[in-house]
Amino acid sequence: MKPDNSQQVRGNLRAARWLGAHRMNAATLSPQRYARLILSTSRVPFLQVVKTSVAAIVAWIVTAPLLQGQIPLFAVIAAILVVQPSVNQSFGKALERCVGVIIGVVLAYLVGLVFGGTSWIVPVAVIIALLLGWALRLGPTSSVQIPISAMLVLSLGATTPGYAFNRILETIVGALIGVAVNLLIVPPVALQPVHEAVARLGNELGSILDSLARTLSTPTSAADRTAMLVEARLLTPMRAKAAAALAAGEESLKYNPRRSVHRDLLETDAMLLAMLSILVTRVTGMARGVVDHYDDDLLDEPLVSEIVSEMQRASHDLRLVILNADLPGAAVLQAVPDDLPALTAPLRVTVPSSEHWVLLGFLLEDLRRIHEEIVEATDAPR
């Protein structure tokens, strides 16, 4: 008769649960976790730090004589907040802040006329300002700026002559200075991340096509095919990252005096990304189809060798398209052994065996569309 180890098993389970909870609590309370809440994964460009400092100093120097001895704090604040990663964002921040200050000052004046100078009108004005920002569908900057301006005018304006007017004046001047500094001192252009993301996506697509070719030409294990499918599915977040970089690049060129120099490169990025986005859908579907319908007899199918050759040619020409685009950052691409296109003719279709006609027909159709996309990109004028 076997001994009853149930109590020992339950004791081990309780000890494992306690140890897991202890480790979880230790990880939750670790300094690294709190550091991640306040630290960013990347630094602000040092040039933006310099431009922000210049904008703050110029705002102080320009507005100080206009305020008759008052400290131009709000001009400096406006200048600091307006210097953004792009000129278009600087315009937007300047407009939002000026609108919020003007509405807040006017609201404080009207509330003071209606309710008088009692202290309890300050929280009333704050509530009205928040509701007004919500009703007008203003952005976060303006919605927050309205109650702050109203509160400051009601609390300090009564004892400081001309406070409301000076606040509007210095905010507008500081915002204009912030925009001018961001516009005149090396306006930021966020194109390098776009080039790198597009080139990296093209390289990864070529790698997945090569992996598909190896899977159909040599014996593989189920784990190898699953790993290939996982890599193919990672193309989707890479495409999303490239699209976000492209949007940021387009944002950086709005109202930028250097936009004419970089517009053609950005258009090339956009066309390549549109083509690569279609290929991501095709290649991911092909990887899923191979994993779902694979069997060992597939390697003996006569048509498979032609499909493998077409995949290899498509991978070669895809890398060639990216390299010929001459994008900065294309060094992440793998070397292309031949600089001549390999997709010189469409794949000729033969009749597959009845056991594999679904998979092979699916692969043939996707390869036909991949062929059309890459050939069209290869023939496009540079």
CA distance 127 to 293: 63
pLDDT of 1: 42
Q: Tell me which amino acid residue 247 is.
A: A
For 5, phi and psi rounded to 5 degrees? Answer: -105, 15
- CB-based burial label for 232 (10 Å; 0-12, 13-18, 19+): buried
Write out the two tokens for 261: 């120099």
User: Domains in the chain and their CATH numbers?
Assistant: 46-184 (no CATH), 192-379 (1.20.120)
Tell me the C-alpha to C-alpha distance, in Å, between residue 212 and each of 63, 152, 294: 65, 66, 12
At 39 the pLDDT is 66
Q: What is the pLDDT of residue 10?
A: 54
Angle between helix 46-63 and helix 73-82 axes, rounded to 10 deg: 150
What whole-number distance in Å separates Cα of residue 50 and Cα of residue 72? 20
CA distance 80 to 94: 10
pLDDT at 3: 46
Measure the CA–CA gap between 286 and 263, rounded to whole angstroms.
Answer: 35
pLDDT tens digit at each of 382 positions of the chain: 444 445 554 555 565 565 555 555 554 545 666 566 666 666 777 888 888 999 999 999 999 888 877 788 888 989 998 988 888 888 888 898 889 888 988 888 888 878 776 778 888 888 999 998 899 888 888 888 889 888 888 887 665 667 778 888 889 999 999 999 888 887 777 888 888 899 899 989 989 999 988 888 888 888 888 898 899 999 999 999 999 999 888 888 877 777 777 787 888 889 999 999 999 999 999 888 888 888 877 777 777 888 888 888 888 888 888 888 877 765 545 555 555 555 555 555 555 555 666 677 778 777 878 877 887 776 655 4
Length of the chain: 382
Cα 117 off chain centre by: 49
Cα 161 from Cα 260, distance rounded (Å): 48
Is the full-model pTM beyond 0.75? no
* Residue-level pLDDT at 353: 54
Helix intervals (H) in the chain: 6-28, 31-38, 46-63, 73-82, 87-115, 121-135, 140-156, 163-184, 192-217, 222-233, 235-253, 259-293, 302-324, 357-379
DSSP letters, 157-203, are: TTTSTTHHHHHHHHHHHHHHHHHHHHHHS------HHHHHHHHHHHH
Helix (H, G, I), strand (E, B) or coil at 68: coil
